[in-house]
Structure 1
């Protein structure tokens, strides 16, 4: 039950952010993964990597120095053992030589080859910001938006958000509409976004969630109804949180944190590791303590 919240304002005034993003990745604690890093084969891209046997190299969220970012969210209720791995969709978009619209048009024709997904693809340019969403649930659908706006996407069918996505988007808008959109308040912004991403209030009952997770127990559905998920009984929950704020095409900052096992297959250790990356004249990453997120 991953979730992503996005704000775009391509015509932001001086001293304001053009793009603000916050996202959680929810996954089995035991699924092996690499935390966010700059990729050896594509050093202009930063993101985590899936290390599940047979799915190595895929990712759920990544961004590039070219101003592109993408997030993949699996839609509940439909997987196929014969489908292609969805984790390749994000790297393919980031590496594409064509514009976002053309790339997604090509993907649209073969979306049925994958299990259910929502793909959010963003292109940040000097002259604008395009936000594309492609989903292969039901009738394959696409949306495109440009200009100023708020977007919230989860593991739901296109246009049918769960309660937690709607509530989270409202809280996200509150963070952004306050001092958070000003670049001078970047630390306050990050604090507000991280507080949102570790929000564990349950938004249940939820008819949409109950429909998507009809084969799950009421206890699990309730656990899935919060933005930050912790369901130790199933060794499942929020594994990674990410925030990004950009005030120009070339300069931005991103904060990422990951939770997982010391070694796959061992007893769950409640720990976080974190990276802060700033993109501009030089790229760098460093360890960043994230004690408030520890569960």
Structure 2
């Protein structure tokens, strides 16, 4: 994923409202969300080039989500795929905290990443750039291709939009998808400087990205209610300007039974 915003324990009906965009080159092959055979029970999209995922959910483990950290100077050409990290978590018998503790010593083998793990109680965050395991406070937060809550304009815009929807008691799928399908672009003076050319900083600065070769490939909404029932809805954008396909999954979580 490349843009995630969420609200934990700020709505009377939901433990978690989780919105995410995955941005990628259109030519990179991938499957939309589906139930995996291995690890059994996982519902996630799959990167067909490297075999991992960017966002998944398992009824006995919770949610795992990944974003890349954008800094071309830090790229390691032979690094293993970051997409294996959510899969390894789902395969493990460890708690989210223990998994991150085990990951920490070898995390620098990978290119820069941010990893979120939500087990129905706690949202855990780890980046191999900062290299600190954190339990995220309840509230509204966001993550893009920098560290947690780095105030990039698109991230702040989406967090504020989610806050407004919660205040207005408008937690409809239509309203939540609209937050992430926003093509607004900030003025140049507010663009981050991540080491990519200026024209790419502009293109990547919108919540929903659309260029001829790269863009938002899918948008996901996860609603996790107070009875541990989860609705996972995904819009799949295969190519620019194509009408998206929509997939919906209803999941009963079994984390503490």
Q: Note whether the superposition's TM-score is higher than 0.5.
A: yes
In the aligned structure 2, how far is the partner of 1:249 from the partner of 1:92?
A: 27
- Paired positions, count: 251
> Structure 1 residues 249 and 204, CA, compared in 2 at 3 Å: closer, same or farther?
farther
In structure 1, what is the Cα distance between the partners aligned to 2:115 and 2:151?
15
| Other structure's SS at 1:6 match | strand
Following the alignment from structure 1 to structure 2, what is the Cα–Cα distance between the partners of residues 96 and 7?
26
> Structure with the greater relative contact order (CA < 8 A, sep ≥ 6): 1 or 2?
2
Determine the structure 2 residue equivalent to 1:60: 54
Q: What is the aligned partner in structure 2 of residue 31 from structure 1?
A: 28
- C-alpha displacement of 1:95: 2.5
Bigger mean CA offset, 193-202 vs 162-171: 162-171
Distance in 2 between residues matched to 1:164 and 1:269, nearest whole Å: 21
User: 3-state DSSP class of the match of 2:178?
Assistant: helix
- Kept in 2, the 8 Å contact 1:121–1:131? The answer is yes
TM-score by length of 1: 0.79
Query: Helix, strand or coil for the counterpart of 2:158?
Result: helix
Match of 2:172 in 1: 189
Larger gyration radius, structure 1 or structure 2: 1
Match of 1:204 in 2: 187
- Post-superposition offset of 1:142: 2.7
Partner of residue 219 from structure 1, selected from 199, 211, 218: 199
Which residue is equivalent to 1:164?
A: 154
* Alpha-carbon contact 2:3-2:142 (below 8 Å) kept: yes
Contact map agreement 1:22 1:193 (CA 8 A) in 2? yes
Asked if the contact 1:4/1:23 (under 8 Å) is kept, the reply is: yes
User: Would the aligned equivalents of 1:120 and 1:134 in 2 still touch at CA under 8 Å?
Assistant: yes
Deviation at 1:206, TM superposition (A): 5.4
Question: What are the within-5 Å matches in structure 2 for residues 2-13 of structure 1?
Answer: 2-9=2-9, 13=12
Matched, 1:144 2:135: yes
Distance apart, 1:269 and its partner CA: 7.3
1:130 aligned residue (102, 106, 122): 122
User: Structure 1: how far apart are the matches of 2:47 and 2:192?
Assistant: 26
Deviations for 1:191-237, whole angstroms, at most 9, x for unmatched residues?
11100010010023256622x1x232x222111111000112xx000
Name the CA shift for 1:271/1:30 in 2 (closer, same or farther; >3 Å): farther
- State the distance in 1 between where 2:118 and 2:148 align: 17
Structure 1 residues without counterparts, runs of 5 or longer: 181-187, 262-267, 282-295
SS in 2 for 1:192: helix
1:220–1:231 Cα contact (<8 Å) kept = no
**C-alpha separation between the residues in 1 aligned to 2:82 and 2:167?**
34
1:248, CA displacement in angstroms? 3.2
Query: Which secondary structure state, in structure 2, belongs to the residue aligned with residue 141 of structure 1?
Result: coil
Residue-by-residue CA offset, 1:164-186 (whole Å, 9 max, x unaligned): 11121111111223213xxxxxx
Q: Which runs of 5+ in 2 are unaligned?
A: none
The answer to whether the 8 Å contact 1:141/1:158 transfers is: no
Residue 96 of structure 1: aligned partner: 92
Partner residue of 2:238? 260
CA RMSD of aligned residues (A): 2.1
Matched, 1:112 2:125: no
Asked if the contact 2:191–2:201 (Cα under 8 Å) also holds between the matched residues in 1, the reply is no
Name the CA shift for 1:79/1:95 in 2 (closer, same or farther; >3 Å).
same
